[in-house]
Amino acid sequence: MIEFVLDSRSKLNTYVQLVQQVKQALRVGMLAPGDQLPKVRDVAQSLAINPNTVLKAYRELEIEGLAEGRPGVGTFVTRTLAGASLPNQAELRADLVAWLQRAQAAGLTPEDVTALVETTLRASLPVEPPQQTASAR
């Protein structure tokens, strides 16, 4: 089951952070269709936030078709975001963990690592142009 964490330094709203964490878990296979998300009350208590914030995040996931609320039972994942690359992620994750350990040993802070990864990502991977929708034409 997913365990939510909040970044108090983030400029993102709390509910957006929760939505992003669910999406990340779906991309890496930590969550799959049929899995239950933590109960609203439990998330609110563990993160010391308003239950309405959790409800807002779960509603957003429902709107996006990623989750479904079942009254009196909970909220369940309805589809995955994991792609064909999922089987390759375990080896890549192990490589990344080793790299992160080297970065820490070299004296990089988490902020340094984030900056290095984000700038390298932008410089190295091509950005796909936004898809035009029928209504935008």
What is the per-residue pLDDT for 126? Answer: 74
Beta bridge partners of 67: 77
What is the per-residue pLDDT for 137? Answer: 41
Q: What is the CA radius of gyration of the chain?
A: 18
pLDDT along the chain (137 residues), means of 10: 92 96 93 96 97 98 97 95 83 92 96 93 75 47
**Global pTM value:** 0.76
What is the per-residue pLDDT for 125? Answer: 82
Whose CA is closest to 78, among 124, 19, 33?
A: 33
First to last CA, the chain: 42
Residue 91 backbone dihedrals phi, psi, to 5 degrees: -65, -40
Whose CA is closest to 54, among 16, 24, 25?
A: 16
Q: Taking the CB of residue 26, how many other CB atoms lie within 10 A of it?
A: 22
What is the per-residue pLDDT for 88? Answer: 83
